[in-house]
Structures are given as structure tokens and as C-alpha cells.
Structure 1
Amino acid sequence: MSLTRVLWFAGVIITLAMGIRHSFGLFLEPLSAGGGRETIAFAFAILNLLWGAAQPFAGAWADRAGARRVLVAGALAYAAGLWTLAVPGMPLLGSVMIGIGLAGTTYGVVFGVVGKLAPPHRRSQAMGLTAAAGSLGQFLLLPAGQWGIDHLGASPTLLVFAALTLLIVPLAWPLRVEGIERPSQPVGDAFREAMRHPGFLLLSASYFVCGFQVSFVGVHLPAFLADRGLSSSVGALSLALIGLANIVGTWLFGHMGARHDKSRLLSGIYACRALAIVLFVLLPVTPASAIAFSAAIGFLWLGTVPLTNGIIAGIFGVHYLSMLGGLVFFAHQLGSFFGIWLGGRVYDSTGSYDPVWWASVVLGVMAALLCLPIRERPLQRAEAGA
């Protein structure tokens, strides 16, 4: 199958899977009605943690057996989780199922196909286009989600989203890789090799920060704006604008990654995120400042994805790209867990999100520094049996 056709199918799958995922911030307040935000925030944090924990296993399965089976299984788990989340009193079970489903339907598995089919000089660009599709889904499905919550209610809207995820099943069928040599290196050796590589560890640490920042903003920004007296429509518009700006940012950073040092680009993204958050927190919160912040942070939102996965492919090759991408993504989701959970915890304890905003600034500066020593040099392996 041609790379162009694969990118179309992969893009639609990511549009659906990530577009629905990005809408979860809209459900924080309605699902928390009558109680504190920490309970739902904790369920969403567990979702992200399990998504990351399951990603290396889903990636290893896809590397060995192909992406189609993993995508179908993931879509079914995703739909079942959304249906369960719609049932009152079952947020944790629904979040567990959604987390497992996302592991099988998002970047780790899809990038394995794209990365293996794309030639090295186009790999970063191809991943950037695929990642941008997730932002397109965010831009399209967030307003639809807010309309559904306002006119149908939170639970019926989740059921509609559950039906949409089932479209991934037929879309997964064309995603296969033919003519690619199966890896001769045992999966355990590939794992240990990555765990001993300083660049991989630094990349994982910086991706932890990425997860902390984007998940905190994605889940808690609408509630933060509502606390400052802005309408729910401003919160939905802000998240949708993040998705729109990220279409441009992710494509651009993927394009630049083919021509410039990816680690330097990553460092710049984290530094600029920290600056954007500082300005947002210090300036008065108005509809205009919310829109400006959303545009800025959206431009920097997922530009880390093609660059991070591009570095992994450049160092370790593509045979275990899904698994290794899943491992570094686990670090991302550890950060997501703390960003979402601490947001709810700190708010319920202090009535303010300010401590978490400033923690995001400090972590952003640290991530910018961690990326600077990373070098994208292909790993030299001894010949088998040597």
C-alpha cells in the first residue's frame, strides 16, 4: 500500500481517537456535579496512566502481529469504556477501559505503520501529518461535544462518541506493512538496549513534562476559565482553538524535523510553553487572553510527537518503533496522571490552580534543558552471533 493511502486512513483513525480523547475536559464539570472535582480528575488520571502502561505492550503486539488486530481490539475497548463512563457511578471502570482502548488506537500503533513505510528523509514529516490529524479531531469534535453536553447531556454525548469509535474497526483494515523484514532482535534485547541509552532516558524524562503540561491544560482549562467568570463556550472554544493551532504547529515541527536538529526543536518547544504559561498566569484572564493563550499553547501542543518518535527511529531503527515509542509514551502518561490528578487535588485543597500552573513552568524549563544533550545518532549493534 502507498504511503499516501496509509496516511489518509491513519489520519482518520487518529482524528477519531484523539478528537474524542481531547474532549474529556468538557466532561469534568458535568460528571462532577454534586461532588468534588478530584474524583473525576482521578479517574481521568488513571485513564492516562493505563493508556501509557498498556502502550508498550500494544506496540510490541503491533510490531510482531501487525497493527490491524491491535486497532480493532483497541476500538472495541474504547467504545465499551465510553459506554461505561456514561453510566453514573462508574467513572473508574470506564476510564480503565478507555485507557486500554487508547493504547491500541493512537500514536504508538499507528506510527509503527507510518514509520516503517516512510523513507527516513520523510519520516518526521509523515509523522507530523498523522499527529496533526489528532488536532483536526480536537477542532471538529470539541464543539460537537460541547453542543451535545448542552442539548443532550453528558451521558448521551458519551454514547454518541462510543458509536463513533467503532468506525475505527473498518478503517484499520488497510493498515498493514508488507515487504518489511521482521525484527531478528529479541524484544527483550530491544527493551534493555533502550533502557541503557542516555538519549532515550532523557527523551523519556522530557516527555513526562509534555504529558504533565498538555493533560493539565486539556482537562482543567475549561474549569479554570469558568472559575474566572468566563462562559463554558469560551472553554470549549479554547480547547478547539488549541486543536486548530496544533494542526499548523505539528505539521510545521514535523517538517522542520526533517531538516534541523530534532532535540534543539524539542528544547525550544518546552521553553516557549513555559513562557506562554507565565504570561497567561500573570495577565488578567479574559476571553481575549484565553484565546491568545490557546493559540500559543496549541501551536506548541503536539509538535513534540513527531520529533520524539523521529529521534527514536533515528537512533534505534523502525523494527520496534511501536514498542519503543510506547515506552517513552508511558513516561508521557505518567506526567499526564500527575498533571490531571494534581490539578483536581490542588484545586479541591486550595480553591486555586495557580500552584499547578507554576509547576508547569518549572517543569517546562527543566525539559528544555534535558533535551539539549540528546543526539540522534544511529545505534551501532554487533552482528548477530558475534
Structure 2
Amino acid sequence: MDEAVLRTLTPAVIGILVRRGVDFATAEDAVQDALVEAVRAWPTDPPRDPKGWLVAVSWRKFLDAVRADTSRRRREALAEVEPAPGPGELVDDTLALYFLCAHPSLTPASAVALTLRAVGGLTTRQIARAYLVPETTMAQRISRAKRTVSGVRFNQPGDVSTVLRVLYLVFNEGYSGDVDLAAEAIRLTRQLAARIRHEEVAGLLALMLLHHARRTARTAAGGRLVPLAEQDRSRWDTRLIAEGVQVLQNALARDRLGEFQAQAAIAALHADARTAEETDWVQIVEWYDELVRLTDSPVARLNRAVAVGEADGPRAGLAALADLDPALPRYAAVAAYLHERDGDLATAARLYAKAARSAPSLPEIDHLTRQAARLNALLRG
């Protein structure tokens, strides 16, 4: 039995039940029960129409739940006529599930969990392991999210930007537990791109592909971080880079620039350079200017300061940094790097140590601490 097939069919089957009038939480529970039955039955008796089989069994599970709870009069009335089993319905409901799972009433964490469960087809246990939380905690989070969106009906287009931010949150979690969330985010974004022609969906897919192409080169033995300039570029995945660039070019050709396209363009310029020294920093600054214009994001301005420092010298980068709030995450690390390039090793060492104290992950703490120690050793020597 192909687990990938089940995960692909899950959102479509949930969508069919929701379109028949079943509330989201009940539909999702019924489909999960049907998936359990599929795991038992399919290895010895595979269906000719897997989607039709799942629809029929999920509907039967829903009916069983309704009949077991006589207090739910409204659902009993809905379930009086059971549709005849047959081929899976051709209407694609997956897109509606994307928007449902990214509903603005949900917290980002809940939206991510619900997307992985309903659209991604992952189990609660898999999601909990990926986020390094107890399974009961994740089950409660998903249950609350399902209750929140149960009464939502889609009669207007959903907010694509919210869906994309949820997918980007999934991607940035990377790998933990037994689920590769970066790869899962790419799979889901490919799925979304196949269902909706939208330049920012393509832009996000391109950005993910270009970042993922450098993944194996980002860490050394023991999980030590390797900065972009020091990465072994022969380890970059040229196939993913080529695909990402092509997806980006197709999106940019529509002439409706958005923030994910701008970020992908920056990533493409990094990927295009055979060595760190050949990086086109001037063009990267221009793309950061576009990104700042689109988002006015402090994080974009911070990254722009680094690019300015590379294109026009470290003092120009420090001048760009001066307009930003020093409390901004990674501000101290950027300032340390620019001061080091400017020759002020003492200030750079102090700032690297400061950045290490507020770094969000152990690999970053280790990297920044090593940088501070390296400079302190040079100052003593």
C-alpha cells in the first residue's frame, strides 16, 4: 500500500464530505477512521478506485458516528439518504481546504498543524514528533483548530497570502522527528501551484526549491552551521536550482511582483554564483530594495544592510543598519559581521558574543560563540 497515495487523497475526500454538508471536524475524523481501515484492508484487497473507496467508507463512518449519537438531530436529518458508492467525485476540494486551514481566526501554530493534518495527510503523532511536543498536546491543538473552523463555509475566494504564509512557516521548520517538514512544505506548495495560477504561489515554490537546493551544504560534521560564503557549492542540488529558476522566471513574466518572487530572485542570484566572490551583490541590493518597497519589513531591511555591506563596503552596510532597531532578532550578528569586515575586531567579538546569547537555536549559538572566540584569539595573539 502506497502511503503517499493516501496522503494525496486525504484532502480531496475531506472536501467531498464537507461539500455534502458534514462539518469539518466530523469530516476529518471520519476520513481518519477510513484511513485506518484502508491500512488494514488494502494490502490484501486493494480497491480499483482508491478515492471512491475512501469516500464510501468515510461516509459510512460518518453515518455510524451520527447513529451512535442520537442527540445530533441535525446531522441525523442530513444523513437520512446515503449516496450510492461509486467512483470518486471529480470536483477538486483541496484548494478550499487550504483556505480553511489557513483561516485568519487560527493562530499560526494551529493553522500549520491543521494544514499538515487535513491537507498533508500526516498523523497527529507525526506532527507532534516534527514539532517536538507531546502527542496529547498536538491532539488538543488540532482539536481546537477543527472546532474553530467547523462552521466556516466558503462562498468567496480565500486569502492566498495567508495560505502562503502558513506553508512558509511549515518550510522554515525544516527537519525534526520523523517528518521532513521542508520537503513536506514543498510537496504541499507544488500541490497548490497545480490548482491555482498565482504568481506568488509560484514565487514561494521557487524560493523553497532554491533554498532546499543548498540544504546539504549548510551543515558540517556534528551539525555545525556553514555560512553561505563558506559552503561547498558542488554539494548544491543543481536540479532543484534549475527548476526553481524556471518556476521563478515564469512567475516574473506575469509582471505582478510580490514578496516571495523578490525573495526567490535574491536566492537565485546566490545560486547562480559559482563562488562567493562572484555573487552579484549590486543586483541583490536592488532586489532587496524591491522587497522593502513591497513589505517594509525590518527583517528585509536587516538583510539589505548585509547586501549593501558586500556591494558598497562595510561602512555603507553599517550606515544602512543604523536606521534599524538594535532589538531586532539577529541585529547583533549582522552588526558583528560588518564591524569585522571593517577591521574593528574588538567590537565584532563583543557583538558576536551578544548575538550568541539571544540566538534562537543551538547551532546558531554554537556558530556565533565560535566567531567570538576566533576574534578574541586574534586580539590576544
Higher helix fraction (1 or 2)? 1
Structure of greater relative contact order (alpha carbons < 8 Å, 6+ residues apart): 1
TM-score w.r.t. the length of structure 1 is: 0.27
Question: Which structure would you say has the larger Rg?
Answer: 2
TM-score w.r.t. the length of structure 2 is: 0.27
